[in-house]
Amino acid sequence: MAQNLQAVGDVAPSQQQSQLDADAGQAYFDHVMAEDSRIEPRDWMPDAYRRTLVRQISQHAHSEIIGMQPEANWISRAPSLKRKAILMAKVQDEAGHGLYLYSAAETLGTSRDEMMGQLVAGKARYSSIFNYPTVTWADMGAIGWMVDGAAICNQVPLCRASFGPYGRAMVRVCKEESFHQRQGFEILLELANGTPAQKQMAQDAVDRWYAPSLMMFGPPDDDSPNSKQSMAWNIKRFSNDELRSRFVGMMAEQVKVLGLSLPDPEVRFNEDTKKWEHGPLDWEEFKEVLAGRGPCNAQRMERRRQAHDDGAWVREAATAYAAKMAAKNEVAA
Amino acid sequence: MIPTGSQPSQAQTGSLAGVGPATGSQPSQAQTGSLAGVGPATGSQPSQAQAGSLAGVGPATGWPLWEVFVRSSRGLSHVHAGSLHAPDAAMALRNARDLYTRRNEGVSIWVVPADAIAASDPDSKGSFFESPQGKDYRHATYYVKSEGVKHL
Amino acid sequence: MIPTGSQPSQAQAGSLAGVGPATGSQPSQAQAGSLAGVGPASATRITPGNALRPEDIALEVQRGDVKPSENVGEYALRLGDDALILAQRLGHWISRAPELEEDVALGNIALDQLGHARSFLTYAGAAWGKTEDELAYFRREPEFRSAHLFEQPNGDFAVTIVRQFIVSYYQFELYRRLTDSSDATLAAIAAKAVKEVDYHRDHSAQWVLRLALGTDESRGRLLAGLRLLWPYVGELFEDDALTARLGDAAVAPSSLRADFDRLTDEVLVEAEIDVPHVPSALGGGRRGQHSEHMGYILAEMQVLAREYPGASW
């Protein structure tokens, strides 16, 4: 190794060495991608891969954490004790999912504090659908069935993401999510078979959450510049439109069981392409909400910020206690 | 902080080139093990388990990071489940209980400060783990002449 | 569902079809995905476990296997209402806790309490032919039997921890003795609950120590919380005609006090705190006389159910 470096001549050894390292690392990385194998935290990886992953995983984590709010909004008013327990367990799961994902992102060298700091500073993005309000109980059903349904469509392929910790986190998340979608569907089913007013409540919720849930898959493929790279890196397995189409197909079938309808007369299965199609979506609204002009953006951020700030003294107290105990044990030892 | 892995050694490059023939002919356990990094860590693949968040990234100001290992039932090993933040070991255990065993996933939990884990250098996979490759005679399947002999 | 080609996610895709929550007895999707892995050790194998659930009690009631006397029903109502009102309070923390790990921890405690509430209320309802939901959603304030401590506002995290500290040490002593109740259903509910509440004791004690000995601010807040809530301790240990009538079926509240004092004091001594000297509040919750807070709790909890009386959810 040392001989090697001497032979290099006038280039600074460290620089030369790091170039060699990068080349070897890139070669190994490419090999892993070609094999559809996994990259682990301590492996060499391109900076852009690391950055993209941190962004993608932390956005996903933020979405789980912010996503707790619209549903937590109904915990206190759940109309039966059974539903209250289910909803509590579900919102609690979202906190867990956020935690699993932050942990995965942390292996890339960005601390949770840093990510949380970006979120409360308004510098990080999260799924824009959580900026819509939950105005009726039926929204708990629609979110479970449609929003979690869309999330699962997105997440199941990510169990095979090329970054090991991300894939493993997604396995755990997907396992737990499976009850989320079912409980949502059953809320709607119960409402749809209830009184006319209940059925109307369910249909109204499906109408309101339909388009936002379709837009959860992200912009159309021809307007999604980073997708190609992400797919090459195996951190995105299917294109936005592909997943959206599958999702619409599932909704179209399942809505019949509910005895409700989707608010989109253009949903159909295209026999030629063998793909499900849907009507146009309002991408302007999507961008507006993403840019912070949704009905609840400010409220969601404020709530997270407040919880974070209100908890500061508690976190400090626990840290101080741990330090005191450690010092005490040292003296004793 | 993160072990950047930006120093793949020459040995590494060497092993890349050699991936093919040396091991290719036989799907040895070692080989599959090292590539199968899919899904939840299973007990006998410690390398997977670590990957969870081995990096030991301690936030500057927040609670430190802990790695969580869960025994799913008596008689089985503890397996890496994930990580979490906690101010100290006592709270880390409790947080792990709340976070990683909400669905009966475990009967026993270990927590370890993430920065207390020493890990093999990922870039030395080639040399560090080369020795067992090709030593077929360590495996029963190598001994074909005795095949079919009962109770052997 | 998702034609993924070569990789193990097919099994995963199962969950899209909603193979979902009933995974209990069979290895679930994700598991299957990793079957390639070796051996059964796993950190994600999930099961629903095996314990007395409110649904089991409802079934026994339906079958006519159990029917409490009105006295026992009235007693179960007290225990159920305590747990219900506390769960309602604790549920508010989910998405607001000081750290994400604590969101999950408080959520677990809230769910335990809600489970106990459902079991006690289901059983209580059987005395009058009512369901848990009829009792929870369609009784008026004076018909609730919870003690005042449970309806106290969450306050800051210190106040919530103090409330948990008092409640869990009280409930532990109560449920521990109730497992010997001459009423088999009360004993069975208590047997499940006492283990969960034992953990609640530990959780609250851990936090009492950290807040008391952490920083000046946390100690100040904890002491304020203790002064704020200690007046409501006395009510928990008052005997009355009902508990006297019930004899072996119930536990005389006054009989719990010595152990409660001894065990809470152990923690407080370690936390370098004296039990606050504050006058006891009058209480009256067991007779349906509540604080000003109760009306708001019920208004929020009951609003939707009352908007659609008779509806199924």
Quote the CA–CA distance of A279 and A264 in Å, as a whole number. 6
**Residues C145 and C78 sit within 8 Å (Cβ to Cβ):** yes
Are residues B95 and C105, on separate chains, in Cβ contact within 8 Å?
Answer: yes
Does the structure show a pLDDT above 90 at A331?
no
Q: Please say whether the dihedral angle defined by the alpha carbons of residues C27, C33, C35 and C37, taken in this order, is positive or negative.
A: negative
Of C80 and B126, the one with more pLDDT: C80
Residues A185 and A244: their CA atoms lie apart, in Å, by 19
Q: Which residue of B has its CA nearest to C37?
A: B42
User: CB A38 to CB B52 under 8 A?
Assistant: no
The structural domain count of chain C equals: 1
DSSP 8-class letter at C275: P
CATH topology of domain B4-117: Ubiquitin-like (UB roll) (3.10.20)
Residue ranges of domains in chain B: 4-117
Whole-prediction pTM value? Answer: 0.85
Split at pLDDT 50, 70, 90, the class of B92 is: very high
How many other CB atoms are there within 10 angstroms of residue C55's CB atom? 12
Neighbours of C279 (CB within 10 A): 8
The whole-angstrom distance between C241's CA and the closest CA on chain A is: 30
8 Å CB contact of A310 and C108: no
Distance separating alpha carbons of residues C249 and C40, to the nearest angstrom? 45
Confidence at residue B7, expressed as pLDDT on a 0 to 100 scale: 38
Highest mean pLDDT among A68-82, A171-185, B118-132: A68-82
ipTM here: 0.92
The predicted pLDDT at position A40 comes to 93
User: Cβ A79–C108 below 8 Å, yes or no?
Assistant: no
Q: Per the CB < 8 Å rule, is A75 touching C94?
A: yes
The CB-side HSE value for A6 (13 A sphere, CA atoms) comes to 3
Q: Which helix (H) or strand (E) holds B82?
A: strand B78-85
Of B76, B77, B102, the CB nearest to C108: B102
> Could you list the pLDDT tens digit for every one of the 313 residues in chain C?
333 333 333 333 333 333 333 333 343 333 333 333 334 677 777 777 778 899 999 999 999 999 999 999 999 999 999 999 999 999 999 999 999 999 999 999 999 999 999 999 999 999 999 999 999 999 999 999 999 999 999 999 999 999 999 999 999 999 999 999 999 999 999 999 999 999 999 999 999 999 999 999 999 999 999 999 999 999 999 999 999 999 999 999 999 999 999 999 999 999 999 999 999 999 999 999 999 999 999 999 999 999 999 999 9
Which backbone phi and psi does A220 adopt, to 5 degrees? -55, 155
Q: Give per-residue pLDDT as tens, A237-294.
A: 999 999 999 999 999 999 999 999 999 999 999 999 999 999 999 999 999 998 889 9
Q: Is residue C61 part of a domain?
A: yes
A100 closest CB neighbour out of B10, B62, B82: B82
Tokens matching residue A137? 């109980």
Would residue C217 count as lying in a domain? yes
Tell me the residues of chain B between 20 and 79 that have a Cβ less than 8 Å away from chain C: 33, 36, 38-45, 63, 69-72, 76-77, 79
pLDDT at residue number C46: 79
Q: Which residues of B touch A178 (CB under 8 A)?
A: none
Whether the CB-CB separation of B54 and B40 falls below 8 Å is answered with no
Give the pLDDT of residue A22: 81
The tokens describing B28, both together, are: 């040895």
Establish if C21 belongs to a structural domain.
no
B115/B1 Cα distance (integer angstroms): 10
Do residues A101 and A57 lie in contact, with contact meaning Cβ atoms separated by under 8 Å?
yes
Is the separation of the CB atoms in B72 and B106 below 8 Å? yes
User: Does some domain include residue C41?
Assistant: no
A210: distance to nearest CA of chain B, Å? 31
Count of Cβ atoms closer than 10 Å to residue A164 Cβ: 25
- Please report, for the domain that includes residue C197, its CATH number: 1.20.1260.10
Distance to chain B for C97, nearest Cα, Å:
13
Q: Which residues of C touch B98 (CB under 8 A)?
A: 101, 104-105, 108
- A93 to A141, A308, B86, C30: CA distances (angstroms): 16, 19, 18, 17
Q: Kindly determine whether residue A195 and residue C308, on different chains, have CB atoms separated by under 8 Å.
A: yes
Closest CA to A41 of C37, B2, B16: B2
In this prediction, residues A153-174 reach a mean pLDDT of 95
Distances from the Cα of B126 to the Cαs of B15, B27, B122, C89, in angstroms? 5, 17, 9, 57
Q: For residue A6, what pLDDT is reported?
A: 37
CB contact under 8 A, B36 and C37: yes
Q: Range of C233's domain?
A: 54-307
Say which of C8, C91, C304 has its CB closest to residue A137.
C304
Does residue C281 sit within a domain? yes
- Residue C158 is assigned to a structural domain of this protein: yes
Mean pLDDT, residues A119-139 taken together: 95
Q: Are A81 and C301 in contact (CB under 8 A)?
A: no
